[in-house]
Amino acid sequence: MPSAREWSRWLGWLALCLLLAGCTHAVVREHQTALTLEEARQTWLGGQVEQVLAAQSEPDGFGMLANGKEAFAVRAGLIQQTQRELDIQTYLLGEGQTTNLVLSRLLKAAEEGVRVRLLVDDIGAVGQGERLAALASHPGIHVRVYNPVAVGRGHLVTRVLASITNPAQQHRRMHNKLWIADNSVAIVGGRNLGDEYFDANDARNFADLDLVTVGEVVPELSRSFDLYWNHGLAQPIERYHQVADDAWQALQSELDEWLDDNADSAYFSELRQQSREAPPWETLHWGEGQALWDAPGKLAESGAPDWQTTLLGDLTANTQTSERLTLISAYFVPTEDGVERLTHLADQGVAVEVITNSLESTDAAVVHGAYAPWRQTLLEHGVTLYELRPEQEADEVDAENEMRVPGASASALHIKAISFDDQLFVGSFNVDPRSVLWNTEVGVLVKSATLMAAFDELVEIGRDPAISYHVVLDDAGHVNWELEHDGEPRLLTEEPGSLWRHFNAWISHTFRLERWL
């Protein structure tokens, strides 16, 4: 006979199973795919793209979106210009004024006959299940969450507790970010949905980068979206949150009321001035792009994958570096293998340059702790390091400067971009083990001389001592930080940052958390 302890354990598991079963609902999950190319060409956006491509010899066009307000204006404009289908894939769905406007316009687009598909990583949907279910109650809007947990969905703490029985699931996330309008225009890059990604947050904003793309690369990005959308890990939000069939109407009224009350805000007033009646064809750079993404089933693997089967493997196989390598990464954790590769390139005469966050600016000091110990080795081999400062010199930096983040008390780098000689990769991929091993990612590898020149201008801005620390070694081999303050050069011999940030960085280094960051 089982002991009392065994009976208690079995009853506990039975209760948990009943709880899990009671938190899901029978919902039909349909297989869906993007518009065909012929269908896409019949839309207004498709017609515009067809005309502009006819005048070009290159298969793809790319526009850099480095300014947060412009990046949001393009997105908001695309919602209005879409006639048949809008696909959005995001890691995080924040709350705030930009999200409210997006959700309102998605409902209006659906009312006009647009099919909307919104795919959110389950962590990004924490606490917003009822709202997303209300959105999905509209017949034209479909919302799915990726890698979901059935319970504890109301708060991040309960969400983490619900994952205790399977912590690996909690750790693996869909980090992809995509916007695709009528399978004709796509946006790929580092921005999630949330005020801090579009210069709309008063406390902290991110310097980030997207590419708006047209051409042959767009259907490939749509194919990646379809693979994720139809994968078994993508589940309808209605399976976890029940709402009335007409809940979207109450949500629309709530959003309309909020937008009416905030119509004269400084952000929306400036946004109206930036809005455009046509896609940003004027600033496109022409070249050839290749869409790269992780297989959606990467999150279902039992252990760490072979890196050569990941997006990094595809990126390595499709690039060569003999002259220069520039990494801009919000989270830079090179690891021993990465340091060996970077220093080998530098020793061979390749100009290797890294721009990342400083300890002060990062929103993840534990990640910084896994990067900082490698600085001396990298510098000794000639790798150039820059670290973004959180509070930049407003008097010395043009307010339109695209690496600077105006309007907030602090800023942080969120760009994910890598240039290999004459090729540029922009996407959701950070140079860290999490992006390689644990998350899924997406991006576009581009060969375009004019786009590379525009990227080089952005890199030059990142080197500005009024924006970033230049990390150097002194004559004794100690790490120092060069900067400019009030127009005068300064040198710091101790790493700037609060005691708490230093402690968090020390924790990750001491307990060797590098592989999990």
List, in sequence order, the alpha helices (H) in 411-448.
433
Q: Is 69 a catalytic residue?
A: no
**Are 415 and 209 spatial neighbours (Cβ–Cβ below 8 Å)?**
yes
Residues 6+ apart with CB under 8 A from 11: none
Catalytic-labelled residue, pool 69, 138, 142, 177: 177
**Are 290 and 445 spatial neighbours (Cβ–Cβ below 8 Å)?**
yes
The structure tokens 């340059």 sit at 353
**Nearest residue to 69 (alpha-carbon basis) of 218, 247, 207:** 207
**Are 45 and 179 spatial neighbours (Cβ–Cβ below 8 Å)?**
no
Give the Cα separation of 481 and 373 in Å (integer). 15
Query: φ, ψ for residue 73 (rounded to 5)?
Result: -60, -40
Catalytic-labelled residue, pool 60, 87, 182, 199: 182
Catalytic-labelled residue, pool 69, 175, 231, 502: 175
Secondary structure of residue 392 in the 3-state scheme: coil
List, in sequence order, the alpha helices (H) in 348-387.
365-371, 375-380
283 residue type, one letter: T
Residues 6+ apart with CB under 8 A from 208: 66, 68, 71, 189, 190, 191, 197, 414, 415
Secondary structure of residue 121 in the 3-state scheme: strand
Tokens standing for 68? Answer: 């947060």
407: left (phi over 0), alpha (psi -120 to 50) or beta: left
Q: Is 108 a catalytic residue?
A: no
Q: How many CB atoms lie within 10 A of CB 510?
A: 9
Pairing of strands 442-447, 488-492: unpaired
**Nearest residue to 358 (alpha-carbon basis) of 455, 502, 459:** 502
**Are 149 and 171 spatial neighbours (Cβ–Cβ below 8 Å)?**
no
Give the Cα separation of 71 and 69 in Å (integer). 5
Catalytic-labelled residue, pool 314, 421, 422, 456: 421
Catalytic-labelled residue, pool 414, 447, 464, 502: 414
Q: Is 177 a catalytic residue?
A: yes
Q: Is 416 a catalytic residue?
A: yes
Q: Is 87 a catalytic residue?
A: no
**Nearest residue to 45 (alpha-carbon basis) of 185, 210, 197:** 185
How long is the chain?
Answer: 517
199: left (phi over 0), alpha (psi -120 to 50) or beta: left
Q: Is 241 a catalytic residue?
A: no
Pairing of strands 442-447, 423-427: antiparallel
230 residue type, one letter: N
Give the Cα separation of 465 and 358 in Å (integer). 13
Element of type H or E holding 204: strand 204-207
Residues 6+ apart with CB under 8 A from 260: none
Residues belonging to the active site = 175, 177, 182, 414, 416, 421
